[in-house]
Chain A
Amino acid sequence: DAKTTQPPSMDCAEGRAANLPCNHSTISGNEYVYWYRQIHSQGPQYIIHGLKNNETNEMASLIITEDRKSSTLILPHATLRDTAVYYCIVRVADAGGTSYGKLTFGQGTILTVHP
């Protein structure tokens, strides 16, 4: 799977948009971009994923550049409960004949939302 690069930490004011960048310059055509977050001492939580089109759900928006070499996760109105480690992961859509693919986590970005 392609490697990703994220800033180690970011700050955001409560109520403002949090924009978390991720570089994945070696991404392949069949690799998706996934975002997870991990609140302290809990299991990671799925946020969103995409291939090449921008995606939006009730939690966040995912903006992927046209060349797919980078992406941005947007939390439109950050709250204190969004303080967490955010992981950007590139994952192969098909993994051989067994049709599943493992998630490989990096260090992620520690997002701190301030009052």
Chain B
Amino acid sequence: ETGVTQTPRHLVMGMTNKKSLKCEQHLKHNAMYWYKQSAKKPLELMFVYNFKEQTENNSVPSRFSPECPNSSHLFLHLHTLQPEDSALYLCASSRDRESYTFGSGTRLTVV
């Protein structure tokens, strides 16, 4: 257990489905992040939240919708995804300039 918990661990969804990924941290960190890791590609930063405010959106398509209700929870709402969105989605948190703590990720398959 790393202190950052992601659920579910695996998700299979159809292109017309709506689903949500959840991330929770109990480390009293103020920043939270969503990363995407496609097969044989580097991790790509998607969104950054600091004290619940979104501070970065790396040109992510609107079919990915993040939500950060408080400093401990981060969601990624998914709708009308494409097969190329299949990837490992990783959540991380940090306190200011300190090192990031990553969750174990959600393996998403879009069919």
Which A residues contact B (CB, under 8 angstroms)? 34, 36, 41-46, 49, 93-95, 98-108
Q: Is the CB of B103 within 8 A of A43?
A: yes
Q: Is the CB of A46 within 8 A of B101?
A: yes
Alpha-carbon separation in the docked complex, A107 to B43 (Å): 8
Q: Is the CB of B101 within 8 A of A98?
A: no
Alpha-carbon separation in the docked complex, A102 to B30 (Å): 13
Q: Which of B59-67, B78-86, B89-97 contacts A (4 or more CB under 8 A)?
A: B89-97
Interface of B is mostly: strand
Say yes or no for B52: interface residue by CB 8 A criterion: no
Q: A104 with B45: in contact, given A46-B99, A98-B50 (CB under 8 Å)?
A: yes
Closest B residue by C-beta to A105 = B43
Q: A45 with B102: in contact, given A98-B55, A101-B97 (CB under 8 Å)?
A: yes
Alpha-carbon separation in the docked complex, A67 to B2 (Å): 35
Chain B residues, CB < 8 A from A41: 88, 105, 107
Say yes or no for B31: interface residue by CB 8 A criterion: yes
Q: Is the CB of B105 within 8 A of A43?
A: yes
Say yes or no for B48: interface residue by CB 8 A criterion: yes
Q: Is the CB of A99 within 8 A of B97?
A: yes
Q: A94 with B50: in contact, given A102-B45, A104-B45 (CB under 8 Å)?
A: no
Chain B residues, CB < 8 A from A105: 35, 42-43
Nearest CB in chain A: distance from B89 CB, A:
10
Nearest CB in chain B: distance from A104 CB, A:
7
Q: Is the CB of A42 within 8 A of B105?
A: yes
Known: A46-B100, A100-B48. 20 other contacts (CB 8 A): A41-B88, A41-B107, A42-B104, A42-B105, A43-B92, A43-B104, A43-B105, A44-B43, A44-B92, A45-B2, A46-B99, A93-B97, A99-B97, A100-B31, A100-B94, A102-B45, A103-B100, A104-B45, A105-B42, A106-B42
